[in-house]
A = this chain, B = another copy of it.
Amino acid sequence: MSTNDNQPMLIFGAHPDDIEFGCGAVIAVETRTGRKAHSVVCSLGEAATNGTPELRAAESRAATELLGSTIEFLELDGDARLEIRTDHAIKLAGIIRRVRPSTVLATTCTENQHPDHARLGQLVRDAARLARYGGLGELRENEPHAIEQLFFYAVTPEGEPRDVAPILIDISSQEIIDAWTAAMNAHVTQAASRDYVDLQLTRARLLGARAGVGYAIALYPNDPMVFQSLAQAGRGARQF
C-alpha cells in the first residue's frame, strides 16, 4: 500500500466530458475515502456537434462536484486541434508540480481514437517526467515533484490498448454507481447522443463480470507496479 495515499490524485481530460465518462467512478471511489481529487480539462469541447463552450464548462463543473473533485480548465490548442508540443508538456508539468499528486490519470495513448485523447495521454506521460527534472526554467516556481504512478483510462472502447494488461477498480457499490451516473448525466448536451451513459455502464458491467463484481473500470498502468509483498497485489480477475 502506498505510503503517500493521502496525496491528491490528478486527472487530465481533453474535453469537458472525458473524465466523467472515462473514469468518473474511480474518482468517486477515491474521494469517498477522503482523498482529494483535481481534474484538469484541456479544451471547452468547442468542436463538438452539440453544446456551447459555456454550457459545457458549466456541465463539467456540476459533474466534478458530484464526484467530490475540484476542476480547472487549461487552454492548449483547442478542441480537436491538440498537437504534441513541448510547451504543452511543460504547462502540464507545471500543474503536476503545483498539485503534487501521488497518482495521475490521463487518456490512453492508443492511436485509433479521437486524436486529442491519444495526444493528451502522450503529453501527460512526458509531463510526469519533466515535473521531476530540476533544470527547466519555466517550472522553477514549484519544486520538482515525482509522482508515484501514472494510469491511463479509455474514454471509448476504441481507446483501450490491446497490448497492456489493465488493472480493474471495483466500483460496484450503489453509492458509487449513482454518483457516477449522475456525473455523466450532468453533461446534458452530450449524454443524450449515442447513448454514452449506457455505453459506459455496459462497459463497466462487462468488466465487473470478468472481475466477479458488479461493475469495474479498467486502468492501464504506465509502469510496472511495485509491491512490498504479494498480500498487497490485487487478486486476479478469474471468473471464466
Contact = CB atoms under 8 A, between A and B. Distances in A.
B115 A126 contact: yes
Chain multiplicity (copies): 6
B226 A237 contact: yes
A69 B25 CA distance: 41
A174 interface: no
A150 B230 CA distance: 11
A200 B179 CA distance: 27
Given A48-B133, A134-B48, A236 B223 contact: yes
B211 A236 contact: no
A126 to B, nearest CB: 4
Interface of A: 1-2, 4-5, 9, 26, 29-30, 33, 35, 45-50, 77, 79-86, 89-90, 102-103, 109, 111-115, 122, 125-126, 128-130, 133-136, 144, 146-151, 155-159, 162-170, 194-195, 198-199, 202-203, 205-206, 209-213, 216, 218-219, 221-240
